[in-house]
């Protein structure tokens, strides 16, 4: 009931969606058992948790949360997500028009989007730090057949070398630098295996999920330790690097440029004997042309083609689905590496996980 038009028939979900989510949950259960404590998840409940907590429902081409729209361009469809005041302040520059667009005037946004191509809109959005995606742009690639024993489709693993297999997750120290939904969900899964997880937040920019449903924030972060640091100070960045160097697992959701500003290098940290596994939750991966792109769950799902269609166009499939799906995918992959004694950097791209689920 989170998919399709508000007053329309309930559409068929993409064929790979539920089997894919269930495989992720099964992999988490299997690998967590190898670490001493099996974690049993209902993946469909996890995927719908925010909507239940906030009382959301389906809205067709408007996201369940209301901040994202699927709009027709001159050549295709785009997902446009404007959840922050600064996004609305940037719309005039993004659309290359003279007059600013008032916050909430989606009719004006849609009218101007219709005169642009999808690629033009994405290119300008990247420059402005806005979350815009062409529907299905990450769905065309060959993600390969699902492999329950191997890496999760849509997640890239760069192995740095062998390590020691973890026999008991209670020995693990996890630093969770991520925010919002996907990264904290992965951290929550690791906590449930018995690992000690510490949530680290910026003193000036705390996790934006604190402004969302309180029950969801508690669910994602219950049982974690909490540390607040001033990332703008030399001492704060030094303490952050010390925490990272002493950890077994690090979880981040910042773009590579932001990590560099904090003096953090995932591959170097893992390769130099720091954490065994670094999980980097990203919108589109860390490759050229992708590393600087901003994404949230709804627009990333649209980029993967994780939408449903009717004669009037695309509709959103559930609520910000790329977020929880990527959290599950990332957690499954991290647990796999730990249980098998491998070191590496795991890059979980929300758009690519969504594309793999289609």
Q: Which residues contact 314 (CB under 8 A, 6 or more apart)?
A: 61, 70, 77, 135, 302, 307, 308
Whether the model clears a pTM of 0.85, i.e. scores above it, the answer is yes
For position 141, what pLDDT does the model report?
Answer: 57
Tens-digit pLDDT profile for residues 24-42:
999 999 999 999 999 999 9
For position 88, what pLDDT does the model report?
Answer: 97
Per DSSP, the three-state class of 214 is helix
Domain ranges of the chain: 17-54+144-290+319-357
For position 143, what pLDDT does the model report?
Answer: 47
pLDDT per position in the chain (358 positions), as tens?
899 999 988 899 999 999 999 999 999 999 999 999 999 999 999 999 999 999 999 999 999 999 999 999 999 999 999 999 999 999 999 999 999 999 999 999 999 999 999 999 999 999 999 999 999 999 855 444 444 444 477 899 999 877 777 778 899 999 999 999 999 999 999 999 999 999 999 999 999 999 999 999 999 999 999 999 999 999 999 999 999 999 999 999 998 889 999 999 999 999 888 999 999 999 999 888 899 999 999 999 999 999 999 999 999 999 999 999 999 999 999 999 999 999 999 999 999 999 999 9
Cβ–Cβ < 8 Å for 322, 349: no
Q: Radius of gyration over alpha carbons of the chain, in Å?
A: 20
Tens-digit pLDDT profile for residues 132-159:
999 999 985 544 444 444 447 789 999 9
Cβ–Cβ < 8 Å for 291, 282: yes
For position 147, what pLDDT does the model report?
Answer: 44
For position 148, what pLDDT does the model report?
Answer: 40
For position 211, what pLDDT does the model report?
Answer: 92
Phi and psi of 28, rounded to 5°? -60, -45
CATH code: domain 17-54+144-290+319-357 is 3.40.50.10540
């Amino acid at each position: 009931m989170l998919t399709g038009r508000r007053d329309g028939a309930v559409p068929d979900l993409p064929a790979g969606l539920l089997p894919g989510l269930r495989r992720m949950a099964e992999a988490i259960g299997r690998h967590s058992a190898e670490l001493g404590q099996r974690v049993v998840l209902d993946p469909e409940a996890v995927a719908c948790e925010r909507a239940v907590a906030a009382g959301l429902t389906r809205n067709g081409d408007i996201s369940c949360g209301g901040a994202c729209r699927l709009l027709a361009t001159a050549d295709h469809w785009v997902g446009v997500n404007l959840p922050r005041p600064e996004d609305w302040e940037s719309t005039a520059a993004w659309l290359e028009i003279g007059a600013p667009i008032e916050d909430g005037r989606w009719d004006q946004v849609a009218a101007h989007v219709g005169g642009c191509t999808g690629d033009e809109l994405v290119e300008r959005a990247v420059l402005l730090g806005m979350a815009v995606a062409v529907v299905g742009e990450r769905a065309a690639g060959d993600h390969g057949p699902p492999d329950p024993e191997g890496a999760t489709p849509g997640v890239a693993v760069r192995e740095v070398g062998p390590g020691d297999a973890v026999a008991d997750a209670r020995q693990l120290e996890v630093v969770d630098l991520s925010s919002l939904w996907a990264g904290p969900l992965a951290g929550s899964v690791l906590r449930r295996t018995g690992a000690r997880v510490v949530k680290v937040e910026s003193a000036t920019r705390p996790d934006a999920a604190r402004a969302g449903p309180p029950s969801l924030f508690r669910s994602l972060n219950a049982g974690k330790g909490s540390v607040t640091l001033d990332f703008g100070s030399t001492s704060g960045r030094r303490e952050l690097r010390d925490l990272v160097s002493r950890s077994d697992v690090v979880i981040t959701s910042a773009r590579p440029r932001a990590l560099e500003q904090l003096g953090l290098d995932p591959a170097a940290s893992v390769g130099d004997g720091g954490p065994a596994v670094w999980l980097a939750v990203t919108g589109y991966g860390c490759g050229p042309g992708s590393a600087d792109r901003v994404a949230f769950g709804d627009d990333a799902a649209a980029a993967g083609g994780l939408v449903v269609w009717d004669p009037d166009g695309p509709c959103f499939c559930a609520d910000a689905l790329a977020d929880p799906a990527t959290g599950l995918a990332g957690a499954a992959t991290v647990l796999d590496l730990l249980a098998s004694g491998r070191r590496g950097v795991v890059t979980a791209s929300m758009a690519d996980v969504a594309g793999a689920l289609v």
